[in-house]
Structure formats: C-alpha cells, structure tokens
Amino acid sequence: MDVLINPAARQGEHAKARSLTRPTREEAEAAVRTLIAWSGDDPDREGLLDTPSRVAKAYGELFGGYDRSAVDVLARTFQDVGGYDDIVLVRDIPFFSHCEHHMVPFVGKAHIGYYPQEGVVGLSKLARVVDIFSRRLQTQENLTSQIIGAIDETLKPRGVAVMIEAEHQCMTMRGVQKHGVSTITTQFTGVFRDDPAEQVRFMTLIRAGR
C-alpha cells in the first residue's frame, strides 16, 4: 500500500530558524533519567544506570545532521565531464530519520536525479546530502524539500528530481499500527517540473531492472 504525496512547499537549508542554546550533556542525561522514571521504571537500577549517558551519545550520532552543511558538501564540482549533459541519477540511497512528531524512526530510500549545467558533483556527495538532512528531526515532506532545495541552490542544474520512499514506525509501532505501509514523496524543479515526460523518464529509470 503506497501513500502518494507531492509536497508543494520548498524548505531550504538556510530557512530562518529561532536561535537556540543547546543544553549541556549533563542536562540531557538528566532529561533521560526523567523519561525513564516517567515511563514507570527505576533509573537507578543496575541495567539503567548508564542508559542516560548512552542515550545522549546515541543522540549525538542520530542527529548529527544539525552540525553539518549540505552546501559545504556540494561546494566542489567537476567541469571536465567530456561534454556529458544528460541525466545523472543516483537511486536506492538508504537512510533513516526520526519523525518530529513522535521522535520514532522512519526508514527508506531516496532517489535523486539532475541535469548538469555548471558541472557535476561527486556521486557520494548526493548520498551525504541525504544523510545530513535525514539525521535531524523531520517529516518526510520537509526532508524531500530540503534535499532538492540544497541541490538546486548549490549546483544550479537545469532540473532536479527527488523521490523518497519510507516506512514510518509512528504508523507501525503506535497509532493505527499498520505494517507494510509505505509513503512516497516527490518534488521536481526545472525541466523535471516543466516537462511531464522528464518525470516519467525519472520514474522509469528508478524502476528499471527491478
């Protein structure tokens, strides 16, 4: 079962955000202790004594995208491509993220295509962009818009296409508890947005050989 969403709003990496002061590591660990106690367990029992420290460390990894810039990752391009000006497609980029509503994971794959104009970027850089934005509290719609916004703004290609397929644990672990439901989001700029045939080509290439 697929849920199709085409987000209209574009949210770039440089959208204005309220300035926040991060709590200390000690404050973060104290908050974990509070949540353990609120859930009904004893934060002082042997198995949970080191859990606040472990959770704080894990959060530093899971949400490391806040400390990295997609613009910096995409800054270096290659001009010598032998005259190549057709589509560049990287598909099946695995990612995990966390829903900003319930802070539970959603996991899936991203597909990115673009038509070069001012050079190409290393293929691994596109995967890194997905990683940067996914390692933040997210909705799938915002994740799609942020990825395409960073690529479009930095590379200035003739067009960008992004498709994300994901399964959300907030639908399987809680709430309606429906397993196997995937959500698909797509967004297009430039030639992909203006020419439906290019959208079809992008989708066809994603599915080719499967």
Torsion of CA 143, 162, 204, 202, to 10 degrees: 170
Summarize pLDDT for 91-150 with one digit per residue, the tens.
Answer: 999 999 999 999 999 999 999 999 999 889 999 999 999 999 999 999 999 999 999 999
Cβ atoms 87, 197 nearer than 8 A: no
Phi, psi of 187 (to 5 degrees): -150, 145
Distance separating the N- and C-terminal Cα atoms of the chain: 18
- Residue 187 known to be catalytic: no
Q: Which of 98, 141, 165, 168 is catalytic?
A: 168
- Active-site pick, 13, 99, 153, 167: 99
Q: Which of 26, 101, 117, 118 is catalytic?
A: 101
Amino acid at 203: M
pLDDT in tens, 167-202: 988 777 777 777 778 899 999 999 999 999 999 999
Give the burial string for 180-201 (b: 16+ CB within 10 Å, else e).
eeebbbbbbbbbbeeeeebbeb
Catalytic residue among 29, 111, 138, 140: 140
Whether the Cβ atoms of residue 147 and residue 133 lie closer than 8 Å to each other: yes
- Say whether 111 is catalytic: no
Q: How confident is the model at residue 204 (pLDDT cuts 50, 70, 90)?
A: very high
Asked whether the predicted pLDDT for residue 52 surpasses 80, the reply is: yes
How does strand 88-99 pair with strand 137-138? parallel
Residues that constitute the known binding site for Zn(2+): 99, 102, 170
Average pLDDT, the chain: 90
- Alpha carbon separation from 145 to 65, 87, 152, 186, 189 (Å, rounded): 16, 20, 10, 9, 11
Binding site, annotated residues: 99, 102, 170
Question: For 2-14+76-207, CATH number?
Answer: 3.30.1130.10
pLDDT number for residue 206? 96
The reply to whether 170 belongs to the active site is yes
The alpha carbon of residue 66 and the mean position of all alpha carbons in its chain are separated, in whole angstroms, by 12
* For residue 4, pLDDT beyond 70: no
- Give yes or no: 99 in active site: yes
The β-bridge relationship of strands 137-138 and 120-121 is: unpaired
Pairing verdict, β 120-121 and 182-188: unpaired
Q: Is the pTM of this model over 0.85?
A: yes
